Amino acid sequence: MQLADLPSRRTEAWKWSDLRAAMASQEATLIGTGPIGGDGPIAAFAELMGDAYAPATRVIAAPGETYETRMTEGDTGQYGSVVVKAGATAVLIERIAVSGSALRPILPSFSRIDVEPGATLHRVVVQQNDVADGLADAAIVLNEAVVKLGAGATFRQFVLGEGARLARIEVTVEAGEGAVVDLDGVYLASARRHVDLTSRVAHQAAGIHTQQLVRGVARKGGRGVFQGKFFVARAGQKADASMRHNALLLEEGAEIFAKPELEIYADDVACAHGNTAGQIDEDAIFYLRQRGIPDVDARAMITRAFLIEAVPEWMGDKLRGEIEARIDLWLGTGP
């Protein structure tokens, strides 16, 4: 794998997240030979650099099992697969933390996930960034999951993306008959951080319900990217799919790029998407200030409420509390 093989802004799926340019400034050596495989560059990186899960395939058969992975600077990457057996319920938490402790780290992780018929998987990806303000933020975070859902399976996912020099968190879902898909996310792009939430849901069979809500914010010099695609095959009749992405540009010089896409070949479906990027409602800010809440707190309160709507109930109080605390920290209202 060579620099020239990596996707760049000329590659449609990566046009806003130029991996080649970001990698070109890393001092890491690209090793290995041969082209990038069919799973794409994130899988190739993870396979090349990563330790396989031990065991390489994690089989979850017991109900209510939680499986947690953790990756920080110094780790080389993760590559593995997860099978949730028919009827089982599992929680998969992937934590990726950047703190600026290593120079120019690359953190790739790739999971192939199989949710068997009737099984349920809740997946939470927490990509946090604790690099102090003003320090160079050099990490490249690449996370991808390819998820296959059996008939009647449920897959719920929440992603928190705090960005890095370049952070891309990607998921591809191939849903079977009557499957339920929930894909929610929050991204927080502060100065010099780039965060990209990309997803694709393929409705290959009938009666699939898909719901997606992603909320993001960007400050001056920060860049947020949302790419969402719902593909409904001819066999995907009765699909009920809703995609929403809303972003707030908190300061001048913030950047949001969004590409919501619907590609539908079935004729009996209910698919909708809504996409907005704008500024905080100044009338709302004035209302809060008129009641005595200082300007900076009023903005934090409105922004927090906006983001928290995309933090789903199914995560439970503990995880929700953790995500809310991250949002508060980012907004400057945390402890």
Partner 1 sequence: MLELTNLHARVVPEDGPAREIIKGLSLAVPAGEVHAVMGPNGAGKSTLSYVLTGKNGYEVTSGAATLDGENLLAMAPEARAAKGLFLSFQYPTEIAGVPVMTFVRAAMNAQRKTRGEPEVSAPEFLKLSKVAAAKLRIDPDMLKRPLNVGFSGGEKKRLEIYQMLMLEPRFMILDETDSGLDIDALKVVAEGVNALRGPGRGMLVITHYQRLLDYIKPDRVHILSAGRIVKSGGPELALALEKSGYDQFMKAS
Binding site for partner 1 (CB under 8 A): 281-284, 286-295, 297-298, 301-302, 304-306, 308-309
Min dist CB 147 to partner 1, Å, is 29
Give me the least distance between CB of 157 and partner 1, in Å please: 22
CA 160/CA 187 separation, integer angstroms: 6
Residue 273 or 304 having the CB closest to partner 1 = 304
Give least dist CB 257 to partner 1, A.
Answer: 24
Q: Which is nearer to partner 1, 261 or 281 (CB)?
A: 281
Min dist CB 220 to partner 1, Å, is 20
For residue 5 the two structure tokens come to 């093989």
Of 307, 212, 160, 227, nearest to 17 (Cα)? 227
| Of 262 and 301, CB closest to partner 1 | 301
CB of 277 to partner 1, least distance (A): 17
Considering beta carbons, is residue 29 or 290 the nearer one to partner 1? Answer: 290
> In angstroms, rounded to a whole number, what is the distance separating the alpha carbons of residues 246 and 226?
10
Question: Rounded to the nearest whole angstrom, what is the least distance from the CB of residue 321 to partner 1 in the complex?
Answer: 16
CB closer to partner 1, 141 vs 327: 327
At which residue do the structure tokens 């929930």 appear? Answer: 182
Judged by beta carbon, residue 104 or residue 289, the one nearer partner 1 is 289
**In the bound complex, what is the minimum distance in angstroms from residue 275's beta carbon to partner 1?**
17
Distance separating alpha carbons of residues 128 and 135, to the nearest angstrom: 16
Q: Is 18 in contact with 25 (CB distance < 8 Å)? A: no
Residues 214 and 184: beta-carbon distance below 8 Å: yes
Residue 289 CB, nearest distance to partner 1 (Å)? Answer: 4
Three-state DSSP class for 283? helix
Q: Chain centroid to CA 155: how far?
A: 14
Q: Nearest CA to 215 among 282, 109, 312?
A: 312
DSSP 42: H
Give the Å distances, CA to CA, from 242 to 10, 77, 227, 239, 260: 29, 33, 14, 10, 11
DSSP 151: T
* Among 192, 210, 193, 213, residue whose Cα is nearest residue 201: 210
The packing angle between helices 295-308 and 282-290, to 10°, is 120
Give helix 295-308 / helix 316-331 axis angle, nearest 10°: 150
CA 190: distance to chain centroid?
16
- Shortest Å distance, C-beta 332 to partner 1: 16
Q: What are the counts of helices (DSSP H) followed by strands (DSSP E) for the chain?
A: 5, 16
Sign of CA dihedral 263, 267, 269, 273: positive
